[in-house]
Structure formats: C-alpha cells, structure tokens
Amino acid sequence: MPYPKNCIRGILKANFVVKNQDSLYATAELFEFRRSDKPDGMHEASINWDDDKKAIEFTFNQKKNEGALKYEGGVATLPRRELDKIRKLYGPMQFNYERERRPGNKYHGNLLLNLTNMNPRISKMIRVVLAHYSKIHFRHEYSDLQPTGCLSNLASLFKSIASKVFLKKPKAF
Amino acid sequence: MKNFSQGTDSNKTPNSFKDPPLEPNGSDVTHGAGDSRPAFSFLSESIPTKEAWEILSKISNQSISDQTKSLLNAIDAVIGITKETTGGYGRIPPLHAYLDEDGSVLIEWIIGDFRIGFNIEPNTEDSGWHMVSNKKMGENTFSGQLLDKKQIIRLIDTIIKNI
C-alpha cells in the first residue's frame, strides 16, 4: 500500500503545543523517539498514516487502556514530503518511516531515527524540523485559532538575518 | 525545508561557551537552581525566558546546567537591552524549554515563520543551535555549534531586533 501525503502524530500532552500570536505550534517535544527492539539501532515515534478520511478522526478518538482519550492535546499532521527530504539528506539508515499495522489500528506506523549513531545536534535539529512542519488539530480550547500562524512581514527580515549571520559565516559555529 | 547548512565541528575550544555569563552587572553565576538571573527583572511583564529558566531545577548534569545558564543569560542580556531601549518586550515570544529523555535540554524559540532551537548536551561540542524557516522565508534549515558565544549573542541580537 503506498504511503499517503500526510502522517498523523497524536499529541499526548497539551503542553506539547504552544500558542504564540494567536496561533498554535508544535514543539519538538512532540517528537520524542523511544528505544525500539529493532536490531539496527533505530528509535521510533509512533504515528498513524492519513490513509483515508477517517484516519484523523480515528486518531482523535484513540483511547488508553482505561478508556480515557489517549491524545489530550489533539493531533498533528505532517507532510510526508518533509519526511522524504530528511530521509534523502541523511539516508534511510538514519531517518526513515514505516507501516506497522496493529490489531485495531490499521493506520499505525512509525517514524524512525537512528539515535545510536547520530550526533545529538543533528537528531535534535530533525525533531525541530518535524515540529516546524506539523499542523495542529487541537481538541478543544483553541478551536477558534488558526492552526499555524504566519508573521508574513518577517520573510524579508529572515533572509536578511540568514545572509548576515549564516550564509556568509557558515562555519562560524 | 530546502537547505541544510551546518557549521563545522573543528577548531573550536570545547569549553568556550562556558565563559562567565554575560550579565549587565558582571556578577558570577553559581551552580544549581538558585537565583542566577540577570539583574534586570521586569515584574510587570512576563519575561520571555521565564519558562526556560525554570528548567534549571530539573537538570542534574552540571555541564548542561552551566551551558543552559550561560545561554539564557546571554539571551536575557540582549532582551534586557531591547527592553531598555524600546520600553517593553514587544512581540518577543517566550522560549520553551524541556528536559529530554536522554537528560539533555532542548530550548525552542518559535517566531512565526521560523523557529530556533538550542540543544544542550553533556559534551559542549554536541550542543548546538538550529534554525528552520517555512516556505514564506525560503524553507531553509541551518545549524551550528554553541561554542562561539559572541556569534550566539550576535545571532540573538539580530533575531530580536527583527521580531
């Protein structure tokens, strides 16, 4: 089965999402990778694949063993194209994704990150990137807010920052 | 995400980021979770680094604690200067910090179309910064080490002045 355009990451805690300027943003804390039993050293972060129109709603309604809703913070969707860019850059042995269907959850899969061999600065950056491209679908309190905010007037300013601080001195740090 | 640009890891003094923190009054900073914030505390407004400072009480690794203080002191110093010249924090968003499962600290500064992250690791050479921007701002990704404090201050200053 081909992979869909987006994956879905359940937000276990509401504080994995922050509000700035009336918009909601995921933090990198949302993408904590846990040790797996995979032989290649890959750590995993559980996701669902957005295979059909029911996938997001299904994820919203997933429950813990005791019956409470599992994702109190709602869910985040993340474009697969961003996953592909990271995978292409670092290689599938460092970052990858998979399907791993489970009983009762046909959408389930994992993001895979090789924390065993990766410089922590790079692995943390990847998590920041994943958070940056996530779109929040919040459960309740902030339903009137825009899912992802933009301060459009910063576009030109960022280019200015980048050229001054980074592009001309890429080895400064 | 279009480009990844990384700083090099060589030719750096591993502990250079552990220089005495930048503070207006030049005082030393002690270890632990005590009051090590810069002198300028503005009670009428929420300080952008308030949450990030609170992470210190959870850090057990001395190197991570020292680096985190040094970084936050530098950010506070630059923010403080902005506060004094503009009369407020304006649109400076708060920094968010948390302790990772591996004991490291991750600090994020989410500023609309881009975000900056700082990871603080036990080994200073592994600590770094990352900047990611969205499509409006070129979908760039940059990263580097946290070894050169002057460059970090310059980075923070440039960002704050353009918020």
- pLDDT digit string, tens, across residues A23-81: 889 999 999 999 988 888 899 999 999 999 999 999 999 998 888 889 988 999 999 99
pLDDT on residue A173: 34
User: A97-106 — which CB contacts under 8 Å span 24+ positions?
Assistant: A97/A3, A97/A7, A97/A47, A99/A1, A99/A3, A99/A49, A105/A48, A105/A58, A105/A62, A106/A51
Using the 8-state DSSP alphabet, how is residue B141 labeled?
E
Distance from CA of B24 to the nearest CA of A (A): 24
Residue A116 at interface with chain B, using a CB cutoff of 8 Å: no
Rounded Cα–Cα distance for residues A104 and A47 (Å): 14
Tell me the C-alpha to C-alpha distance, in Å, between residue A27 and each of A126, A163, B67.
12, 26, 21
Using the 8-state DSSP alphabet, how is residue B20 labeled?
P
Distance from CA of A86 to the nearest CA of B (A): 9
Contact criterion met (CB < 8 Å) for A170 and B145: no
Q: What average pLDDT does this structure show over A127-143?
A: 79
Q: How confident is the model over A43-56, as pLDDT tens digits?
A: 999 999 999 999 99
Residue of A63 and A148 predicted with greater confidence? A63
pLDDT on residue B158: 79
CB atoms near residue B84 (< 10 Å): 11
Sort out which chain B residues have CB atoms less than 8 A from A79's CB and list them: none
* pLDDT < 70: residue spans in chain B: 1-45, 86-90, 162
Contact criterion met (CB < 8 Å) for B5 and A85: no
Q: Which of A82, A128, A155 sits opposite B108 (nearest CB)?
A: A128
Contact criterion met (CB < 8 Å) for A127 and B91: no
Residue A69 at interface with chain B, using a CB cutoff of 8 Å: no
Contact criterion met (CB < 8 Å) for A154 and B102: no
Contact criterion met (CB < 8 Å) for A162 and B138: yes
